[in-house]
Amino acid sequence: MKTMKAYLDTAETPAGPVAFAVNEAGALVRATFEEAEDHPDIEEDLKADGYEVSRDPERTARLGKEISEYSAGERREFTVPVAAAGTPWQQKVWDALARIPFGETRSYAEVAEMVGRPGAARAVGGANGCNRVPLVVPCHRVISADGSLGGFSGGLHLKQRLLEHERRFSSRAQRAATDH
């Protein structure tokens, strides 16, 4: 059996440092905010899933650059492929999350409708909670129907920082478009 390899790195985000790992093909397999309330040890987590973990800045450079661009307000969506393991339902929800535009939010119920399962808002919340690649799969853009933040595995303080960052850069882009 071939050993799976993961390459670990960190990058700064508006929600503090994020540790991330990509596989040999450069696809993102895991990310975690280092300031998260229940911050897992990403290296131990990867090893428990059967990965041999090392560091190789060349392999992680593409995602590191995209995270830096996002943090500077220059990137609205990530292009690095994602190879996070999940059930078919979770994958379907995560695909929907990736379609929520930068600077916008959707309710859990709206995401349930996006995946063709109206009434499955709680199940969407469950899939969100299992997202092992936050930021790139933007689960922070999902809020409660009443407009409150709802949950976030890293803590609501991190979710708030990410949403404020995106609103700030979205409003700048809108002002620039109307000024021309």
- What predicted TM-score, i.e. pTM, was given to this entire model? 0.89
Burial class (CB in 10 A: 0-12, 13-18, 19+), 111: buried
Would you call 130 a catalytic residue per the annotation?
no
Q: Indicate whether 176 pLDDT > 60.
A: no
Name 35's Cβ contacts closer than 8 Å, sequence gap at least 6: 15, 16, 17, 154, 155, 158
Q: What is the pLDDT of residues 77-96, one digit of tens each?
A: 999 999 988 999 999 999 99
Which DSSP state fits 13? Answer: E
Mean pLDDT of the chain: 90
Residue 97: per-residue pLDDT? 95
Domains in the chain, start-ordered, CATH in brackets? 4-71 (no CATH), 88-179 (1.10.10.10)
Question: Does the pLDDT at position 180 exceed 60?
Answer: no
pLDDT at 157: 87
Which secondary-structure segment (H or E) carries 122?
A: helix 121-129
DSSP 49: T
Considering only residues 154 and 112, tell me which one the structure prediction assigns the higher pLDDT: 112
Strand ranges across the sheet with 28-33: 28-33, 16-23, 4-13, 51-54
Around Cβ 154, how many Cβ atoms within 10 Å? 25
pLDDT at 103 over 60: yes
Residue 20 confidence (pLDDT): 97
Choosing from 112, 139, 142, 163, which is the catalytic residue? 139
Which of the four pLDDT bands, split at 50, 70 and 90, describes residue 54? Answer: very high
Q: Are 142 and 129 in contact (CB under 8 A)?
A: no
For every residue of 50-104, DSSP letters joined together read TEEEE--HHHHHHHHHHHHHHHTT--SS--S-B-----HHHHHHHHHHTTSPTT-
In this prediction, residues 18-42 reach a mean pLDDT of 91
Confidence band of 152 (pLDDT split at 50, 70, 90):
confident
Q: What is the pLDDT of residue 1?
A: 56
